[in-house]
Structures are given as C-alpha cells and as structure tokens.
Amino acid sequence: MRINKWKMIKWIVGLIVAFLIASPILWIVLSSFKTADQILIPRLWSDSWTFRHYRELFTDTPYLMALQASLKLALGTTAAALLIVISASYAVYRMEFPGKKLVQKIMLITYVFPGILLIVPVYDTMSRIGMTDRLMSIVIMNVTFIAPFCVWLMRGFFKAVPITLDESAALDGAGSFRILFSIILPLLKPGIATVAIYSFIMSWTEFTFSSMLLSSEVNRTLPITMNAIMGQYTVRWGQTAAGGVLTLLPVILLFAFVGKYFIKGLTEGAIKE
Amino acid sequence: MKKRSFAIIMTAIMLLSIFAACGGGAGAPPASSDSEAAPSGSGEAAPAPGGDDSAVDLVFWHMEEPPHRVRRFNEVFDQFNEEHPDINFSGVVQSWNDAYTLFPAAIMAGTGPDLMLTSPDHATIIYELGKNQPVTDIINAIDSQQSLLPASIESYKFGDEYYAVPVYGMAQVLWYRKDMFDAAGLSPPKTWDELIAAAEALTSGDVYGIALPASRTMATDQVIWSFMTAGGARNMIDSNNTVDFNNPQTVAAYELYETLMKFSPPDSTTFAWGEPQALFNSGKAAMAIEKGQYLLPWTDESGRPPEDLDCVLIPTPTGSNYGSYFLSNGVMLLSEGEDKKAAASTFFQWLLQPETYGYFINAEPGLFLPVTETGAKAQSFLNDPIISQYPKQVETLLEASNIGMLYGFTDGAAMRIGQITGPNLKAATLEQIVVGGMSPSDAVAWGQAEMERAVAG
Amino acid sequence: MNTQSIKNPSGHGEWRNWVLPYILVAPLMIWLIATILIPVVTVVYESVTSATFVGTVGDFVGFKNYVSVLKDPHYWAAWRNSIGWIVGCTILQTILGFSLALLLNSSTGRLGQFARTWSIVAWITPTVVVSLIWRWIFNGSYGIFNAFLMTIGVISEPLSLLGHPNTALMTAIFINVWRWFAFTAVILLAGLSTIPKELYESASVDGAGIMQKFFSITMPSLQNVTFALVIVGTLWCFNIFDQIWLLTLGGPLNATTTVPVYLYRGAFESFQIGRTAAASVITALLLLLLAAGLIKLTQPKD
C-alpha cells in the first residue's frame, strides 16, 4: 500500500518535472517549422509547415561561420581549462604547501566581484594588448569563470583515489610528475571528462563577454549571431526560432554522445572505482 | 569494453581541444580580413590582404547587425572597392549595445575605426572624446549635388561645424490595417480624438485597437516623442541644455498615451519593437506607431495583400501642423590625416549619388529612407521589389521624414541629450504613469526633475 | 586536512617537491590575478574619480561617489530585489533540485538513465535562447501559456507575468531556476550516491519512514555538497546579469533591477563610471560579508 502511494507520487512528480523541462524546448522546435503566417498563433499545432526558416538561416545568415566560431571557442576553452584545472587541483588536493589556504580564498573571491563591472576594465586591458576581437580573449575570460568551480569539482575525484597509492609510488622512488601522469591521471578520467564537458557547455552558452569583445563576423559565436538575427527594430520570428533551435542542436548532439559520462562523472565521481 | 570506448572519446576530445586551441587561438586571425582590419583601425597597420601598399584603408564600424543588412552593405562596399583601387574600404559589424559602452573605450585606446555609424545623441557622446573630425566640406560637396534634407544634417551640427555625414533617415508614421478599418467602417484617424475613437472601436476580445510599447526602452522613447511633436511639445531641451519637459503640451501627449494604453495589450509594459509588429501582423492589433520596417515582412506574416497595410502621418490634436519622430543616422570620421579624409569624401560622394544610393538604403526597405532629394526620386530606390509594392506608403514615410525632428536637436544641439536618452527618461516617465499609477502631470514633473538631474551630472 | 604531504624518501627530489605545488597552481593564480585582480584595481581607482563614461579619465573626488551611492535609495532598492532574487532562486532551486535528485536517485533502468542524461537539457541552453523561448511563451497575445489558461477558463484576460511589477521578479526567478535546477539536482545526486545503501536499510529495520530517513540520513550526509552549493550558488546567483537583462531590462518600474542591473545602468546608460565603480566596490564588500556569514552558518562540522 505504502510503497504504491510513494510510487504514484514519484510518477506524478516525474511527469510534471519532465513536462516542465521539455515543453518550452518542444515549443520552440515546433514554432521553427511553422509558416510565417502561422507562427504567431498561440497554439501548439499549425495548419502548414515549412523548412523555409532553416533554409534562410543557412543561405541568408552566417550560421555556419558562427557554428565554427562557437566550436573553436568551446574546444579552446576546454583545452585551456583542463590543463589549468588538473594541475592546480593536483596541488591543492594532493600536496601540502604554505599559502594553500590563500589559493583557495582567491578562488572564492572571483565570485564576489560583480562580473558585469569587470567588462569595462577587461575591455580596456584587452584592447591595450591587442586582444579584442580574438577568440583567445573569450577563452581567457571563460577559463577565469570556469576554473574555480572545476577545481572544486575535482575534489571528489581526487578523494576517490587513495592517498596510499601516491605514497607507495613515492616509496618506489617515483617523482611527483610520474605519480601524477602514470598513476593518478588515468584514475581521474571520469573527472577530466566532467570538467571537459562542463567547460565546453559553459563556453557554448557564454553571452556577456562574447558580445562585448568579439566583433568581426568570423569570430561571432552562435549566441551573438542569434541575438543579431533578432535585430534592432524588427524581429523575424521564423528565423529567430530556427536560429534558437540550431544554437541548441550542436550541444544536444554532443550531449547524446557524452552526456552519459558527464552525469556519471558528476554523480559517481565520489565513489571509489 | 565501456572503459575502452570512454578512453577513446576522451582522447578524441583532448586532441580536438588542443587542435582547436592552436587553431582558435593564435592561428585564428589569418582566417579573415575582417579580424585583421578591426584591431588595426587607425594608424599605419599592415595593409589589408588583397590591397596594394599605397591604398588608403578605411575601416567602417556599423551596427546594422541583421544578416541581410550586413550582406547588402558588404555588396555595396565591394563594388566601391572595385571602382576605387586606391581605397580599401572594409565594413565591420558591431552592436548598438556596445556603441555607448565599448566604442568610447576603443576610441580612447586607439583601437577604434576610421569611420563609425552614429545617431545624433550617440554623436554628442563621441564628440566629447575630442577625436572626431569636422566633415563640413564633405557635407557641402554632397549638398550641392544631391541636396541634403535639412533635418538630416542639423542634428550633427555642433557649433559651426558638421560632425557626421548623414546616410539614411528613419521616420515614424501611424500604421493601420486597412482590412480591419474597412470592416469596421472607419477611416484613418487625423486627430487625437479620432485616434482614440478608432482604438476603442477596434478593441474587442483578444484584438486590440493599437499596440504601443510601454517598457523602459528606446522603442517607447521614440513613440512618446512622436506624440509630443504632434502635440506641439517640440523643444524638450535647448542648446544650453535647459530642459523644458514640464509643459502642458507634453502632459497632453502623456495623457493621450495613458488613454491609448486601455486599448493596448496588458503586457505592453514588456513591449519594445518586435511585439507590436508581431501583434499587428497577426491581426491582434489594428494600429501601431513605428518606422518603415513594417513593409518587408507584411505579406508573409499577415497573409494579406500589400494594400491592407497602410499608414498616415501621426495624428495631431487638431488634424493639422503635423510632426513626427525623425532620426538621421550619420557616419563620423575619427581618423586624422588628409588622405583618410579625402578617401572618406570620395566614398560618401560615391555612396550618396542616385545610382548607388537606393540600392544601399534598401538594405532594409522602408526603414532606411533617403536623406537626399535626388535619392528620394532615384530609380535605384524606387525600383526595389518591396518599395515598388507600396508606393503610397513610401510617399507617406518620405513626407514624415520631411516634417520629422529629433529630441535634443530642435533648437540647436543639446550636447547633454545623451544623459537623457541613455536612461530612456521619457519612457521612464511613462512607466511612472502606466505601472506606478502616477497622474500624467505628476509624472511629467517627475520627469523634468530627473532630466535636470541627469543633465547636471 | 586529511591529505598528507608526499615525502620523497630517496632525498634528491627535495627542492623539486617544495617548488612543484607552486608551479602547478601558478597558471591558475596568474590567470585569476590577470583577469580579476587587475580589473578590480582599476575599478577601485575609478571609484574615487569623476569619470563619466567609458574611456574618459575623471578628476579625483575622494569619497564623494561612495557617499552618493550609500545615500541612493535606488541602490538599496536594488539590494532588496537582489535579496529577493537570491532567496527566491535558492529556495525554488533547492526544492526542485532535491525533488529531481531524489527522483533520479531512485530511478534505474533505461528510463532512469535517459532521464539522468536529458534532465539537464535546460542548462545547456544559451541564455539568449532561454529568454526568447520564455518571453514568447508568456506573451499575452501570441504566447501559449495565456492562450492555454484562457482556453481552459482559468483566466479571462491574459496575465502579464513579466510586465507587472508584482510578478516580474518571481517570473524571472522561475525562468532562471528552470535553467539551473537540473544542474543543482545532478550535483545533489552526486552527494546522494555517496550515501551507503546500508544506512537506509538499517534505518528501515529500525522502522524509520521515508521522511524520517530523509531528515536523519540524507540531509546530514549532503552537508559538504550543500555547503558548496549554498556559497557558490548564492554568489553565482547574485551576479547573474544577462538572464535578467535579456528578459526584462530590469523593469517594469525597476521591479527586476537587481544590483548587477543597477550597476550596468549606472555605467552604461547614465554614464557614471566613477560612481558606479564605487557602487561595485561597496557591493563586493557586502558580498564578501555575506559569503563569510554563509560560510560560518553552513560550514560542515568535521
């Protein structure tokens, strides 16, 4: 009796949550296939459907260029974040050194200053060193906002690797670098995957700094191009909806392949393998 | 087995990442001429690829982001470059969002462009940086051949000199759905009373008589100004930066707006530009006050013939003495040096000649209106597939641009106008009425105080 | 700290082992200092000048800007909105996040696996798209939300959720939580999966109900995770700007003007860089206090 009641509740809550998550996305996907005269009628279905918005998106807008820029940016961010996060978290979670507390405090401080106000000084600095309109500048800013959280993420993964492993390796005469590369890194694979996917997605969705620092067409990422399609003075609903879907689609595809590992990494990282 | 596939994916991600870091980071710039041109800006940076060393580089920042506008602009620029091998003109798209924030920083840091699209109030802010060059000679040269619309240049006259070359204008009119008016047996309104009566008559169920923006945005600011000028409140601020907002005509304009809000959707407080047009095209609103961007998507989105989209000048209290919001977008010259100025002069004279001008401004047909007399009659303007479908409507738009004016530039240039338009204080005043429940006269008094404070700094 | 330093017994790595941790954290530290600390110093400098808009250099004005900000009722109104935003986001996010985490934790099989992967889809949606979708859905005339409610007869006139000052902040909170709660859930799930099953089993033997188990086993075991979520989550949440700006621009009538929106307006709409810099310094100090307080309150007792 009792179990059935809880099971019922579970299903009901599950369906509500599933509806909550999925319906807005379903709405934009459906809208993107509606013809221009149907798209603004507030109902789920349409009398006529079209691929025109997608065709226009490919022929009339720099969608493919933006996709390329977004991919470059996301992969660049991921690579940089991985290098920095893994080395820093190894030091923070595996070694004792004076000033460790300070390192952790500095990481927390990055969250305290309103990011929005950094825009002007960051722009100033970037333009002084000739970094505006370079994807590299966004890579730099992305890593700043991603790294502290990722270091924290790695904590569980490092904890899962017994410290005795390091010690016995050290007893065998292995240096710290060898311990890191040949013993610990392979065991950290799920953590590394998690950090990589996290960085990729954060970079994919980043808007504020990209819109400020990137200007030329080849460097504009998908969210920025998307925002431009909406445009000043007039909104092209069909193209905007299609653009929204195609901004989302690449990460959905990526997630179809690696999503499992991301969630697994996040949820099972803390358990010893 | 699972571990194996995981390892392969991981390695692939790592490799790709590193590849991209090289490709996306240090290796990126050669991929385009744009990214090369943007940071170089002024100064004697490396010549753009494809040009010879002696050619003058002109980098132009504009904020016309929608892709179809970008494409049309680039076509025109390419044609110019082809006809002028001694000049390298390159357009770079920017965003209006950044125009007030990062452009000043870029200009001061020396990474700004040679030429920059601007609006009059934006120009006053850039002017304060002291980097823009007078273009009076260029204006005179163009005016003698093409005859420039006075309102289009007056708003760029600071002191004795002109500081931007106008490239296109925009004017507001009252758009109405002829099909809905005909069905209700109404004729287009000429006076404020007729406007209110029509809005009321056409409101029923989920259809609204008019869709007006009431958010704190530039969209709202512009519509309020149309009502203000139509109602005779034309000198909001003078060239000494004295604010004259709290007057009976302004209060009357806000009273009209408040009345019309009853016939505008309840979520008007979130509307900017897109929403009224969407309602209008989908038959949920019978009227809207906007610029010429209504022409292009009309037949597609409404499923109606061109005749059903019609417009008249903004109604006035008495049906005479019309006024309207009019904005002329201009281009500022930011680089010193005679060679740059000469090249810019060549460019503008070429751009504004009737043969090329129409094709350029029809990047957004109807929204971008000619600022020259010759342009308004040019075949390159009138033969556009969209413009030619709406001859009567285009005529009304041109008429509106002839009688239109812009806040801050009606009685000489008020150099502090940016302090009022930046925080959208006219729209903020409306918000006090529509959202805050203040009476129009109290709100306008509040607006006067806010404006005085903003102007004083 | 339960980690121990690694001693190299062979002896000749001493110097290397001493310097190695610094080499390893150096890239991150240099990175953060270059991108955060240097800009922050610039902001602190600007806060005592009369700089008007970006690119200008102002005169030294002492603490005038600070006084002006502290006396500005709009600034404190923005704090009130920010606190509403943080509290609303945290509560709603925790409820929804916990529900989803418990659901996912008890779901196995193909459906469970599928749900685990795809529940996070809102989080991978860029804010621009999130705003587009929800503004469209909530629109009074062409949005499906009002149309649906009107069809089933719950309301007779469309609700202006984002356009009314009483509901705008709540609606913005809901939309932000929509994007983030699944991510919260997954982090909580990480904590949940570390709780040994035997704990629940032995509690069941003792006759504990589901609710009892939740409060006596689940909650305490999640201390570490919730600690991080509360601190980082609160600060993150506070600094969210683009989501609010893209949805409401801080309106109507400043109802959604949180502190970051206030700062943006001050710097880029009213062109008061100096004064806004002072406001950001004050904000950062207050946030630091808030963070310290939260750490004191929620720190797990080890």
Say what the pLDDT of residue B30 is. Answer: 34
Please name which of C261, C116, C83 lies closest in space to residue C187, comparing C-alpha atoms: C116
Give CA–CA dist A9/A28, Å, rounded: 29
Please name which of C267, C291, C270, C293 lies closest in space to residue C279, comparing C-alpha atoms: C267
Give CA–CA dist C254/C256, Å, rounded: 5
| pLDDT category of residue B28 using cuts at 50, 70 and 90 | very low
Q: Pick the residue from chain B with its C-alpha nearest to A133.
A: B35
**In angstroms, what CA-CA distances link B243 with B237, B239, B240, B456, B457?**
4, 10, 9, 10, 13
Average pLDDT of B304-316? 96
Say what the pLDDT of residue A95 is. Answer: 82
State phi, psi for C280 to the nearest 5 degrees.
Answer: -75, -35
Which helix or strand (DSSP H or E) is residue B166 part of? strand B165-171
CB of C193 less than 8 A from some CB of A: yes
**In angstroms, what CA-CA distances link B387 with B67, B179, B277, B305?**
20, 20, 18, 14
Model confidence over B115-155: pLDDT tens digits? 999 999 999 989 988 888 999 999 999 999 999 999 899 99
Are the beta carbons of B434 and B264 closer than 8 angstroms? no
Contacting residues of B for A41, CB less than 8 Å apart = 282
8 Å CB contact of B68 and A60: yes
User: Residue B42 pLDDT > 60, yes or no?
Assistant: no
Say what the pLDDT of residue B44 is. Answer: 37
Give CA–CA dist B94/A227, Å, rounded: 12
Say what the pLDDT of residue B27 is. Answer: 34
The CA distance from B398 to the nearest CA of chain C, in Å, is: 32
Question: What is the edge-to-edge ordering of all strands in the sheet holding B287-290?
Answer: B287-290, B173-177, B309-312
The CA distance from B61 to the nearest CA of chain C, in Å, is: 18
Tell me the DSSP string of B74-87.
HHHHHHHHHH-TTE
User: Residue A97 pLDDT > 80, yes or no?
Assistant: yes
Give CA–CA dist A147/B443, Å, rounded: 48
Kindly report which listed range (A93-97, B42-46, B202-206, B399-403) carries the lowest average pLDDT score: B42-46
Say what the pLDDT of residue A51 is. Answer: 92
CB of C27 less than 8 A from some CB of A: yes
Q: Tell which B residues from 35 to 74 touch C, by Cβ distance under 8 Å.
A: none
Model confidence over A236-265: pLDDT tens digits? 888 899 999 999 999 999 989 888 888 888
Go through C16-45 and write b for each residue having 16 or more CB atoms within 10 A of its CB, e for each that does not. ebeebbeebbebbbebbeebbeebbebbee
Model confidence over A122-148: pLDDT tens digits? 877 787 777 878 899 999 999 998 998
Model confidence over A186-209: pLDDT tens digits? 888 888 988 999 999 999 999 988
Q: Tell which C residues from 38 to 77 touch B, by Cβ distance under 8 Å.
A: 52-56
Mean pLDDT, rounded, of chain A: 85
Are the beta carbons of C5 and A96 closer than 8 angstroms? yes
| pLDDT category of residue A179 using cuts at 50, 70 and 90 | confident
Say what the pLDDT of residue A80 is. Answer: 95
Say what the pLDDT of residue C171 is. Answer: 96
Contacting residues of B for C162, CB less than 8 Å apart = 267, 270
Give percent above pLDDT 90 in chain A.
32
Are the beta carbons of A158 and A94 closer than 8 angstroms? yes
User: Residue B91 pLDDT > 50, yes or no?
Assistant: yes
Task: Mention every residue, 6+ apart, whose C-beta is less than 8 A from residue B14.
Answer: A79, A82, A196
The CA distance from A70 to the nearest CA of chain C, in Å, is: 12
Q: Pick the residue from chain B with its C-alpha nearest to A37.
A: B301
Are the beta carbons of B99 and B45 closer than 8 angstroms? no
| pLDDT category of residue B192 using cuts at 50, 70 and 90 | very high
Tell me the DSSP string of C199-212.
HHHHHHHTT--HHH
Give CA–CA dist B202/A237, Å, rounded: 25
| pLDDT category of residue A3 using cuts at 50, 70 and 90 | low
DSSP B384: S
Are the beta carbons of B306 and B299 closer than 8 angstroms? yes
Tokens representing C13 are: 């790595």
Altogether, the residues listed in chain C come to a count of 302
Please name which of C256, A214, C268, C203 lies closest in space to residue B65, comparing C-alpha atoms: A214
- CA B162 distance to own-chain centroid: 20
3-state secondary structure of A56: helix
Go through C139-150 and write b for each residue having 16 or more CB atoms within 10 A of its CB, e for each that does not. bbbbbbbbbeeb
| ipTM exceeding the 0.90 mark | no
A96 C-beta neighbours (distance < 10 Å), count: 12
Give CA–CA dist A199/C190, Å, rounded: 19
User: Residue B325 pLDDT > 80, yes or no?
Assistant: yes
Please name which of A227, A184, A201 lies closest in space to residue A81, comparing C-alpha atoms: A201
B106 C-beta neighbours (distance < 10 Å), count: 27
Most confident of A61-70, A162-171, B438-447: B438-447
The CA distance from C264 to the nearest CA of chain A, in Å, is: 7
Altogether, the residues listed in chain A come to a count of 273
Give CA–CA dist B280/B289, Å, rounded: 10
CB of C256 less than 8 A from some CB of B: no
Give CA–CA dist A191/C264, Å, rounded: 36
Q: Pick the residue from chain A with its C-alpha nearest to C147.
A: A42
Residue C252: cis peptide before it, omega within 30 degrees of 0: yes
8 Å CB contact of B65 and A228: yes
pLDDT lower than 70: segments of chain C? 1-16, 54-55, 299-302
Which residue carries 């007792």 as its tokens? C301
State phi, psi for B174 to the nearest 5 degrees.
Answer: -95, 110
Tokens representing A147 are: 């790294």
Give CA–CA dist C178/C120, Å, rounded: 10
Say what the pLDDT of residue A216 is. Answer: 76
Query: Distance between terminal CA atoms of chain C?
Result: 10
Kindly report which listed range (A51-55, B231-235, C4-8, C195-199) carries the lowest average pLDDT score: C4-8
Please name which of C35, C52, C226, B159 lies closest in space to residue A209, comparing C-alpha atoms: C35
Q: Pick the residue from chain C with its C-alpha nearest to A257.
A: C117
More confident residue, C14 or B312: B312
More confident residue, B32 or A39: A39
Subunits next to A (3 or more Cβ pairs <8 Å) are B, C
Give CA–CA dist A11/C94, Å, rounded: 20
Q: Name the residue among C52, C139, C248 with its Cβ closest to that of B275.
A: C139
Q: Is the dihedral of CA B42, B43, B44, B45 positive or negative?
A: negative
CB of C98 less than 8 A from some CB of A: no
Contacting residues of A for C147, CB less than 8 Å apart = 42-43
Model confidence over B349-376: pLDDT tens digits? 999 999 999 999 999 999 999 999 999 9
Give CA–CA dist B267/B377, Å, rounded: 41
Q: Tell which C residues from 119 to 148 touch A, by Cβ distance under 8 Å.
A: 119-129, 132-134, 136-137, 139, 141-144, 146-147
Residue B176 sits at the vertex; the CA angle it makes with B170 and B182, to the nearest 5 degrees, is: 155
Please name which of B116, B30, B70 lies closest in space to residue B340, comparing C-alpha atoms: B116
Amino acid residing at A154: M
Give percent above pLDDT 90 in chain B.
73
8 Å CB contact of C271 and B109: no
Tokens representing A80 are: 């940089």
pTM of the model: 0.87
Say what the pLDDT of residue B146 is. Answer: 94
Say what the pLDDT of residue C2 is. Answer: 41
Say what the pLDDT of residue A231 is. Answer: 64
| Exposure of C69 in the CB half-sphere (CA atoms within 13 A) | 25
Q: B173-177 and B309-312 as β-strands: parallel, antiparallel, unpaired?
A: antiparallel
Contacting residues of C for A102, CB less than 8 Å apart = none
Q: Name the residue among B107, B268, B423 with its Cβ closest to that of C55.
A: B107
Give CA–CA dist B429/B450, Å, rounded: 9
